[in-house]
Amino acid sequence: MIMKHQKSPIQIGNFIILSDKLIGKGRHSVIYDCINELNKQIPVCAKIFYNTKVPRSLQIEKLKSINNPNLVKYYEIFEHNNHLIIIMEKCDSNFKTQIQKKPLTEQDTYEFLRQFLKGYQTLIDDDLDLRELKPINILVKNKIYKLTNYGISQLYELIDGEAKAYSAPEVFYEKKQTRIKDVFSLGLVLYFGFCNKLPYTYRTAGDQLYFFRQIQQNGFEMKLEIPLKIQQLIQLMIIYDTSNRITFEDIKLKLEIENSII
């Protein structure tokens, strides 16, 4: 049985979870280093949701079948002793850590967006959602950006429906959202990529609601100097009204106009 404070390796089938080697920890899950005994050459890790059963709506076989360089690979998803475990691709870092070392340039931004849209298009094609788009959830491996936490929103909905710092306004105010919510979040991610911070101070949900009211009434205005074309793009993303917000299709078109091949 997997215990939260266990430090000795845990063998589950072909996988050895190294519970003394913590990679990351969130409010809902923990990630440990892991070894696949059948193929030790492929670095993997184990994401564990404690006291969580596999929802019937979780499309396990579809998730395991996805092979896109800009999406973190899910190798196995199973339940063990009332804990849900995802054996997934192990990466080197994440977008947040990378930006803390070196902010984006204009060309970096075009390359990031190219890779992001390549991964996101597969989510659209396979009708999979993306849970909480934010810098720490964009992983990096060998300079390749990889989206994670896709297709598993059910695991979080069973625990918590609270909005987070990079959420769009409609996540607060509407029961059903469309993919346009991710455009808003992506705009905040790009802002972070240049400025290493959000465009508002986030301490509580109240701070976020105040920011939403500001942009609803006055629009969003960049107060820091960044390349003009990127500034204009971010301002088209961070828009309160979803009907006025730029779409992913138009973002792709803008990149093509800039001669950035998608």
Please list the residue range(s) of the chain that carry CATH number 1.10.510.10.
Answer: 93-257
**CA atoms of 192 and 214, how far apart (whole Å):** 19
**CATH code for 93-257?**
1.10.510.10
pLDDT, position 164: 84
154, pLDDT greater than 90: no
Structure tokens at 240: 């309160």
pLDDT digit string, tens, across residues 100-113: 999 999 999 999 99
pLDDT, position 28: 80
pTM listed for this prediction = 0.91
190, pLDDT greater than 70: yes
Asked if residues 135 and 192 have their Cβ atoms less than 8 Å apart, the reply is yes
**pLDDT > 90 in the chain, percent:** 73
Nearest to 72 by CA among 53, 41, 94: 94
Distances (CA, A) of 56 to 43, 62, 64, 184, 239: 29, 13, 16, 30, 35
For domain 10-89, give the CATH superfamily: Phosphorylase Kinase; domain 1 (3.30.200.20)
**pLDDT mean across residues, the chain:** 90
- For residues 137-144, average pLDDT: 96
Asked if residues 56 and 50 have their Cβ atoms less than 8 Å apart, the reply is no
pLDDT, position 172: 85
Encode the chain in three state secondary structure.
CCCCCCCCCEEECCEEEEEEEEEEECCCCEEEEEEECCCCCCCEEEEEECCCCCCCCCCHHHHHHCCCCCECCEEEEEEECCEEEEEEECCCEEHHHHHHHCCCCHHHHHHHHHHHHHHHHHHHHCCCCECCCCHHHEEEECCEEEECCECCHHHHHCCCCCCCCCCCHHHHHCCCCCCHHHHHHHHHHHHHHHHCCCCCCCCCHHHHHHHHHHHHHHCCCCCCCCCHHHHHHHHHHCCCCCCCCCCHHHHHHHHHHCCCCC
Distances (CA, A) of 1 to 10, 30, 76, 189, 228: 8, 16, 18, 38, 55
pLDDT digit string, tens, across residues 41-63: 999 999 999 988 898 889 999 99
- In single-letter form, the type of residue at position 169 comes to P
- In single-letter form, the type of residue at position 170 comes to E
pLDDT, position 162: 53
pLDDT digit string, tens, across residues 197-225: 999 999 888 999 999 999 999 999 887 78
Please list the residue range(s) of the chain that carry CATH number 3.30.200.20.
Answer: 10-89
